[in-house]
Chains A and B, each alone.
Chain A
Amino acid sequence: MELVQLSLDNRDEFIAQSKAFIYNTTYNICKRKLYFENDDELSISLIAFNNACNTYNENKGNFYSYAKVLIKNALIDYFRKSSKVPYVVFDEDDDIKDFIDNKNSLTKYNIDSENNRRAEEIALFSKELLEYKLDFSTLIKSSPSHKDTRDSLLNIAFKCIKEQHILDSIKSKKLLPVKEIILITGSNRKLIEKWRRYILILILILSSDDYPYIKSYLKIKVGDRNE
C-alpha cells in the first residue's frame, strides 16, 4: 500500500473505492443487511476507516488488516456506548472467504509484524492481570466451554462496561463488584460468582483502548436473542 494513496488529496476517491471492503467488514459483525443511507454502523465504520488512513504508517503491517482492526473496535465501542445494547454473541463459524482474503493480502512480513504487536499487547495485558492476581493458566480453568454461557457472560460484560462506576470500582479495588453487577444485569448470583474471573477478563479487554488487536481478534457479532 502506497502512502501516497492515503494522502488527503486522494482520500475521497480511495474511500469510495474501499466502500465494498468497509461494507463487508461491518457486515461480518452486524450480520444483517445495511444501507449507507440509514445505518449508524456504516457511518461508524467509515469514520474508523478514515481514522485508519490518518494513523497508518508502514510498520503497522498491511493497511487493510489494520483498517479492519480499527473498524471492529470502533463498532464494539459503539455497541458499548449506544443506549440500547444489541444482543452480542461470539461468532463461531469459520469465515472461509475472509480466510482466503487474508491469505492473499497478507505477506509473511505482515503477519510477523502483526504478531509482534499482538505479543506486545499480550505482555502488557498479562502484566495488568498480575495486578488482579490472575494468569492465563488459572483462566483456562475458569473459562466456560459452553457457547451459551460465554454469550450470556459477554452480554453481562457489555452491560457492565457501560457503567462507569463499575469500571472505577474494578480499577480501584481490583475486585468484581458482584452485588452491583447483579443489580444492573439482573442475573443469577451463582453464575457471576462462578465465572467472575472470565467476566473480569472480558471487561478488562473490552473496556480498554490498549488492546486493539486482542479485542479485534475476538469475533463478536450482533446476534438474535433466540439464536
Chain B
Amino acid sequence: MTDIISPQNEALAPALLTTPPVGGGVGLPGGPAKKRLGPFFWICAGWIGLIILVAIFANLFPLPKPDFENFANPQNAGPAWGHLLGTDDLNRDIFSRLIFGSRVSLVVGFGGTLIGLALGGLPAMYAAYRRGRVDTVLNTVSYAVLAFPAIVAVIAIGEFWGHQLWKITLVIGVFSAPLIFRVIRASTLSYASRDFVMAAKALGASDRRILGRELLPNILPTIISFGLIAVATIIVLEGTLAFLGLSVPPPTPSWGNMLNESASLLSGGKGQTNPWLVIFPATAMFSLLFTLNVVADKLRAYFDVAEVKL
C-alpha cells in the first residue's frame, strides 16, 4: 500500500530483501551445501507464533482491561511488580494494552494480505497463464494504481468511510492488490511456458487443473515468502495511519495509537512525558517487523525464489 503498502517504500520491498549470490556463480566445491533454515529462523518464527497465540488467547490471561482507567493505579509509572511495563497517562496498564494492541496489527497485516492475495494474486495467475488482452489491461491498471500514493488514498477513504478495524483491513487489502498482482504475475510467467505446462495441456488438462495443480505448487514459495513481506509492509502502513490518528480509534489499543499517545506527551502538550510509552510499543513493533522480515528472507533463500523483478 504506497505504502500499501507503501508502503512503503513499499514497492521495492521484495527487491530489497533479496540478496543476489555473491561471487557471480562461483560454485562451492563438493556440490551445493545441504539447505537448512537454521536456528535463527526458528527463533524468529517462534516469536511470531508466540505473539499470535498471546493475541488470540489474551482474554484468558489475568490482565487488567486494556481500556480500564483505574485511578487506583499510579499515572505514567515505570515498570513495577503490579504493572510489568508501567502505566500510561490515563492510569492504564501498558502491558495489557500492548498485548491487546497486537490484535490490530495482526488482523490488519494478515487479513489485508489475504484480501490482497485474493484480489491481486488470483487474477495475476490467470492473466499470466492466458496472456492476451486481459493481461495487458490488468497490467496497465496495476501500474496506474501503483503510481498513486496509497497512503494518501487510504487516508482519504478512511476519512469518509470510517476507521473500524474491518474497514481499515479491507481498504489496505485492496490497495495492496496491485503490488501482489505484479509479484505473482512475474512468478507465474516464469513457469507458464515451461514444458510441464505444455505436457499437461497436451494431455487435455483443464485450465483450472493446470492453474491449481501445475502452476500453484510452483509459485507457492513466492506467495509465502512475499506474502510475509506484504504482512510486514501492511503492518507498517496501519501503524503509520494509527500514529497519525487515522486508524482504529482510541480507547481500543493498537501499537500505532499507543505511539501516537506517547508522541502527544512528548510534545509537552499535557505537561508530562512518559518514556515507557515510547519504548515498549516501539520495541514490540520492531520485534514483530524484524522477525517477519527474517522469516520471509530465510524462506526465500531456502526455497531459492529468484529475485522478483517488479
* A and B associate: no
Task: List residues of B whose CB falls within 8 A of some A CB.
Answer: none
